[in-house]
Copies of this chain bind each other. A is one copy, B any other.
Amino acid sequence: MRAAMQEYIDAFNRRDAEAVIALYADDASVEDPVGTEPKVGIEAIAEFYRYSVGLGAELSLVAPIRTSHANSAAMAFDVQVTLEQGPCLIRVIDVMTFNEAGKFTSMRAYWGPGDMAFQPAD
């Protein structure tokens, strides 16, 4: 689980959307952020990552990945991305569940408006 979570970060930073998508099971769901409509199924997930990886975000783990006593794991990271309003830091915790093949069956991203910090231009 730890290796798959790390590959998620690394593939995102390589801007390799297809490698991110390949981490998911066909029937997976993605709720990013938690509280919005989940993307269900690999087609909707692929569309989401082709768009979001294309934004050029940089993901940095802020602490070691946590696992569990079951088929789920969690990680805290910061996202640095340039939005229309300018450069922005978004503080996120992702929780993934896994199937027996080691693919993500669900991802839920915890972040809210208060976890975004816009940075002044230089």
Contact = CB atoms under 8 A, between A and B. Distances in A.
A80 interface: no
Nearest to A75: B93
Interface residues of A, number: 30
B2 A67 contact: no
Contacts of A36: 69
A34 B108 CA distance: 15
Contacts of A111: 66-68
B2 A70 contact: no
Interface string A45-73: 00000000000000000111011111111
5 contacts: A35-B70, A35-B72, A63-B78, A66-B93, A72-B110
